[in-house]
Amino acid sequence: MKENEEVEEKIVKTPAQAEQVLEEESAPAAPVEDAAVAVEAAVAVPSAAPGRGQRRGGGRGDRRGPGKKAASLTDSGMIEKVVAINRVSKTTKGGTRLAFSALVVVGDGKGKVGYGLGKAGEVATAIKKGLNAARKNMIMVARKGTTITHEILGGCGSASVLLKPASEGTGVIAAGAVRAVCDGAGITNILTKCHRSNNPINVVKATFDGLSRLKVYKPRIDAGASLEPALTDQ
């Protein structure tokens, strides 16, 4: 307030500026409606982005990385997970055309899992196409309790994924793309390692390549052994 008063005193001291001050004081006040519009416009202005030292949100949040949210469970009991969404732009004479591709994994949590890639001009449509493709291409994974039956290496292109069984309580030690496949298949204890390429599409395909080649080992029966249950003396 003191600074404002000092500025007004300096303005009044000069004759030319004194006349300007008198004209401003004699001018009619702005209508109330205009003032209300100005207030609404001020409220509508978005707040400034947080500084470098400020946090955008509280807590640690999800540390799984972008586009790696927790899998969602639908009404039908299927687990759906969007692994990655890619945007592609094409420059034509009429302008730039945008398209989206969505990589989706679907599973029932009981060994049945599939993946699909949908492409469309909108994200929602691409995800829907990916879900439909994933439901049509599902495989049955051989499991041993909550883990896989044996160690295996899957590959696709330049990507390779090593899958190793783990004991109870280990959890899913895997990257985002591999974790989505394991969650859909109902595998809760597994050790994985991705080599070379980290392209989500190739990583998912390499994971499916390894899971599809898992075998179930049955107990060996010696030749000539009887399959009839042994009779005990009573």
Say yes or no to pLDDT of 51 above 80.
Answer: no
pLDDT in the model for residue 149: 94
pTM for the full predicted model: 0.62
Say yes or no to pLDDT of 111 above 90.
Answer: yes
Question: pLDDT tens digits, residue range 162-175?
Answer: 999 999 999 999 98
Q: Return the higher-pLDDT residue of 61 and 178.
A: 178
Find out if CATH 3.30.160.20 is the number for domain 72-212.
Answer: yes
Question: pLDDT tens digits, residue range 6-39?
Answer: 444 444 555 566 566 556 655 555 554 554 444 4
DSSP assignment string, 9-78: HHHHHSHHHHHHHHHHHHSPPPPHHHHHHHHHHHHHSPPPPP-TTS-SSSS---TT-TT-PPPEE-TTS-
2 pLDDT tier (thresholds 50, 70, 90) = very low
217 pLDDT tier (thresholds 50, 70, 90) = confident
pLDDT in the model for residue 27: 56
**Cα gap 52→18, rounded to integer Å:** 46
Per-domain residue ranges of the chain:
72-212
Question: pLDDT tens digits, residue range 179-188?
Answer: 999 999 999 9
Range 185-209 average pLDDT: 95
Phi/psi of residue 132, nearest 5 degrees: -65, -40
Range 136-157 average pLDDT: 94
